[in-house]
Structure 1
Amino acid sequence: MSTTLSDLPPEMRAFTILKTSTTLAPRLGRLTLPGRKALETPHYLGNTSRGAVSHISQDNFQKNTSINGVYVALEDFVEKLPRQTPPLYQLESPKDESPLRDFIALPKDTVLVVGARRVPCIPCPTANTNSALSIYTSVGFRQISAEDYAAASRKVRPDIVVGLADIPYGQPQPGLKRIDKMSDRTEEWTKELVSQKNGLDKTAKAPKASYQIFAPILPLAKELQTWYLDHLIDDMLDDISGLAIYHAQFLADLPEQVQDLPRLSFDPPSSPGALLYQISLGMDIFTIPFITEATDAGISLDFAFPPSRSEVSGGEDAGKKYTLGVDMWQSEHALSVTPLSDNCSCYACTKHHRAYIQHLLSAKEMLGWVLIQIHNHAIMDAFFAGIRESIARGTFGEDKVAFEAFYKPELPEKSGQGPRVRGYQFKSGQNETKKNPAAYKVLNAPEESSSEAPTPNPDAVAGDLEKIGFAETAKS
């Protein structure tokens, strides 16, 4: 008879469920790793680019944010593989310390989670193979083998490693043969990660690595990945500390033996409402691309959970739906000396006002996006704190309904020009126009008509799983 995580004493479990009711229900938990800040769940990880949260330098990360954990993509650092050794691998750190943590100057007490790909990831034109995953580095598309990924995990020593998942982003709807490959490859890649963590050379008694492994759960119905799930439970359960979920819809299909494991979502929510939906199904930890997307658009987030009872009950504005953010490009803010949000105590709101931030954006000063990003993460911290309090009170369901009735369903549309973009933010393709306008031009030259590169569809960039048919295939 299989042993479940709930059979272990609390001191032997990194993740503890503090409150839940049924399988598909919001739950409170706590992820506790040695020497790191406890992560009270539901919560989120800071989404990084090149190891840093976009627009936030390492000193501001420590002084002006409350981010307890970050997600880092290995594809940001292995552009020289396999011909040369990447600089990250050349950094020597003391025993049991993470070279990656030192490389990106991450505070010692911040939870460090590493996966192969960014969130959202860029679809690669080359398909995955039986032994390798296609990735997008700073110098183009590459492939990293399951063996190299497992070796990299032992080398960089993060707190949590997310296993490789064979998901064909940006490719046509997979047929049954392709689905079988997804399951088989993910199983083999997970076994490789587990075996390398435990040490390959048994005679040398290689020490067992200290990082936790989060096994991927494919965006397929249970019956389409039965082989993989059976082997995960029968052969690898003792070495798995969490789950990486690629579609929230399939939380209902999780086997009983893994119900008590923490769930890390790689199903990017497009809005706070979508985030609340996933939490209502029992998701624990999130990477949230829309925070930085809002910041890049010059939108300061402005919402709370639950909304104030006095605001909901209303007066003359009863029934009106409020926006989830404020577009700081609008000229109406040019003379406003109010903070970004009235009830926010972040550095941006306590030290500066809207007129100053609007001026920074208009002048293309990066400080404008820095201040908005600090504010947006503070709003998300308060949002998740409110969610945890609501679950503890047992009022999450009615608070979620009140939130959806009070706020508009989507974030405001972008109206101004964002910061200069990085190439990996866009879907690759042929005949692309320049993504950034020329910084300089010849004086007195005649004006030429030009069309700005179209803003990519975030769903296409994220490789939205519903759009490529995984959910529909599972239902059929």
Structure 2
Amino acid sequence: MLEFTLLPTTGALAPRLGRLSLAGRKSILTPDFIGNTSRGVIPHISQDNFRKTVNFDGVYVALEDFVEKYPQKTPPVFSYDVPERLRQFIGLPPDTLLVLGARRNPPIASPVANTNTDVGLFTSVGFTAMSSEYYAAAARKLQADIVVGLADIPFGQAAVGTKRKDKMSDRTEAWLRALVATQGTIRPGEKGWSIFAPILPIDGELQAWYLEHLLHDMVAHISGVAIYDACLLDHLPAPLYHLPRLSFDAPASPHAILRQVGLGMDLFTVPFVNHATDAGIVLDFGFPAPAKDTASSTRHSLGIDMWSGDHAQSLTPLSDACTCHACTKHHRAYLQHLLAAKEMLGWVLIQVHNHAVLSAFFAGVRASIAAGTFDADVAVFEAYYEPALPEKTGQGPRIRGYQFKSTSHAKTEKKNTKAFRKFGEEEILKLKAAHRQQQNKKPGMRDGVDDEA
């Protein structure tokens, strides 16, 4: 049974400390983050390096990464009749907390609209729809530790009307009720799971009916809440204050993380870490930040662009204060060489370092809250560091189609640069003319070259 121990706080919208515990899993001290996976793994981190070089207490996995064959064929993840089949399918260590949801974070907008029974997904082979009954059955078979309830959110729409928001509330309540009902059919000896109820990104008045049913009918079966808009934490009913809060309001920078922590958020998935790694940016920040030099008006960057030629002969570690594997075993010149040569090891080392920086950042946040200096430390942090991460300058690793927003599929340009180019008509004519000048020399080879051209 999932347990969340919450230390006393100063108010409803205030930073708070807690401990999330589950038998057989590592306890998570909150505020903290869990790894954001792609197809079940942390990008650039193999499962052996997951155990040796990164310190994750939990990961978030999206079901849409595994149902590309649905509904025509049974997805491979359901073909193995073993205990905790999702954990074994992705090779996750047994002591790591496993959180399952329907969509990635952040999700890619799907042109397949949600209906009263189905939710639109974006799989690795295209768009599809999945029923709420199928999701509940998948939760039972995959046996994750925590299952996030389906939320009817029209991602990608700039404006949502009042009638559509009413549908969001009604559908989310029905889908959550189906998940709770499936949880109630667990047989003795069968592994259960904990449910996190979604809190929609709409005003509390528009989802009041859903929250009322959540409190009266399902609160005894709920172990946490999934928040899609941190600004609506003040609309959270008081009987739900004691539950852990998982943020799906993806922060764009550590400043956004601190703002959500200040409102009382507990757990995060942090997509900007993977984005920074793909861009070749080494994160370089800490909390609390050093005192700002009053003689200088410039702020320090949140990261270092390793594509810059300035690092080509630098023997300094990636970050002076970091003790991760990448910083203790390698230097900037080596990492810059790996990126320039398109070696995958370059992104592996950056990913190891970036997650170590984020782990140290959250450890500093927890220490600051315990010391009662969080608000003052946040002010120093905002004065010391730039408000946004550096822009990408180099070419990242080869990108697959499902990593793009759906709107980019309508564009005609290629996502990745061409490895080879086709000869133009003028170049072909020149080749043929050159072959005709040597028509008596090795005609077989000449014909082969003509065919190839």
Q: Is the 8 A contact 1:319 1:406 kept in 2?
A: no
**SS of equivalent residue, structure 2 residue 363:** helix
Q: How far is the alpha carbon of 1:19 from its aligned partner?
A: 3.8
Q: Structure 2 regions of 5+ residues with no counterpart?
A: 428-453
Paired residue for 1:291, among 270, 273, 295?
273
C-alpha offsets along residues 372-415 of structure 1, whole Å, 9 cap, x if unaligned?
Answer: 00000000000000000000000000000000000000000111
Which shows bigger deviation, 277-286 or 432-441?
432-441
2:200 matched to 1:218?
yes
Q: How far is the alpha carbon of 1:438 from its aligned partner?
A: 1.7
C-alpha offsets along residues 161-195 of structure 1, whole Å, 9 cap, x if unaligned?
Answer: 00000000112512111111000000000000000
CA distance 1:111–1:396, change in 2 (3 Å):
same
User: 1:427 — aligned with what?
Assistant: 405
2:423 matched to 1:437?
no
Which shows bigger deviation, 424-433 or 363-372?
424-433
2:388 matched to 1:402?
no
Q: Is the 8 A contact 1:160 1:211 kept in 2?
A: yes
Q: Is the 8 A contact 1:77 1:137 kept in 2?
A: yes
Q: How far is the alpha carbon of 1:13 from its aligned partner?
A: 6.1
C-alpha offsets along residues 7-51 of structure 1, whole Å, 9 cap, x if unaligned?
Answer: xxxxx7611112421000000011001100001100001000010
Identity %: 59
Q: How far is the alpha carbon of 1:314 from its aligned partner?
A: 3.0
Which shows bigger deviation, 208-217 or 178-187?
208-217
C-alpha offsets along residues 184-220 of structure 1, whole Å, 9 cap, x if unaligned?
Answer: 00000000000001108xxxx6667521100000011
C-alpha offsets along residues 437-476 of structure 1, whole Å, 9 cap, x if unaligned?
Answer: 12234689999xxxxxxxxxxxxxxxxxxxxxxxxxxxxx
1:343 partner letter: A
Q: How many residues align?
A: 425
Q: Which has the larger radius of gyration?
A: 2
User: 1:9 — aligned with what?
Assistant: none
Q: How far is the alpha carbon of 1:92 from its aligned partner?
A: 1.6
User: 2:229 — aligned with what?
Assistant: 247
1:434 partner letter: K
1:424 partner letter: Y
CA–CA distance in 1 between the matches of 2:349 and 2:8?
A: 36
TM-score of the superposed pair, with normalisation by structure 2: 0.91
TM-score of the superposed pair, with normalisation by structure 1: 0.87
User: 2:181 — aligned with what?
Assistant: 195
User: 2:349 — aligned with what?
Assistant: 371
Root-mean-square deviation (CA), in Å? 1.7
Q: Structure 1 regions of 5+ residues with no counterpart?
A: 1-11, 448-476
User: 1:50 — aligned with what?
Assistant: 39
CA–CA distance in 1 between the matches of 2:400 and 2:190?
A: 38
Q: How far is the alpha carbon of 1:81 from its aligned partner?
A: 1.2
**SS of equivalent residue, structure 1 residue 264:** strand
CA–CA distance in 2 between the matches of 1:411 and 1:431?
A: 27
CA–CA distance in 2 between the matches of 1:84 and 1:294?
A: 36
CA–CA distance in 1 between the matches of 2:244 and 2:221?
A: 14
**SS of equivalent residue, structure 1 residue 400:** helix
CA–CA distance in 2 between the matches of 1:423 and 1:153?
A: 27
CA–CA distance in 1 between the matches of 2:305 and 2:17?
A: 33
Q: Is the 8 A contact 1:20 1:26 kept in 2?
A: yes
CA–CA distance in 2 between the matches of 1:377 and 1:387?
A: 15
CA–CA distance in 1 between the matches of 2:189 and 2:159?
A: 43
Q: Is the 8 A contact 2:14 2:262 kept in 1?
A: yes
**SS of equivalent residue, structure 2 residue 37:** strand
Q: Is the 8 A contact 1:49 1:76 kept in 2?
A: yes
Q: How far is the alpha carbon of 1:424 from its aligned partner?
A: 1.5
2:326 matched to 1:344?
no
2:58 matched to 1:69?
yes
2:286 matched to 1:307?
no
2:165 partner letter: I
CA distance 1:445–1:356, change in 2 (3 Å):
farther
1:50 partner letter: R
User: 2:13 — aligned with what?
Assistant: 24
